Amino acid sequence: MDPFVFVAVLAAAACHAGWNALLKINLEPLAATSLVAAASAAVALPVALVTGLPAAASWGYLLASVAIHIVYYYALAQAYRLGDLGQIYPIARGSAPLMTAVLASVWLGETLSAGAWASVLVLAAGILLLASRGRRAREPFDVRAVGYALATSLTITTYTLVDGVGARLSGSAAAYTVWLFVLSGGAMGLYGLRRIGRRLASDFTANWWVTMAGAALSTAAYGIAIWAMTVAPIALVAALRETSVMFAALLGVAMLREPLLPVRIAATGLVLAGVVLLRLQ
User: What does each of the 281 residues of the chain score in pLDDT, given as a tens digit?
Assistant: 788 888 888 888 888 777 766 665 566 778 888 888 999 999 999 999 999 999 999 999 999 999 999 998 889 888 877 876 666 777 777 777 777 777 777 777 777 778 777 877 877 777 777 666 544 445 556 678 888 988 988 998 899 899 999 999 999 999 999 999 999 999 998 988 888 888 888 888 888 888 888 888 888 988 999 999 998 888 888 878 877 777 776 776 676 566 666 776 777 777 777 766 766 66
Q: Count of CB atoms within 10 A of residue 107's CB?
A: 11
Q: Count of CB atoms within 10 A of residue 231's CB?
A: 14
Helix (H), strand (E) at residue 227: helix 208-229
Of 230, 248, 239, 228, which Cα lies nearest the Cα of 277?
239
Domain around 35? 3-279
Of 197, 206, 216, which Cα lies nearest the Cα of 37?
216
Q: Considering its fold, how many domains does the chain have in total?
A: 1
pLDDT of amino acid 137 = 44
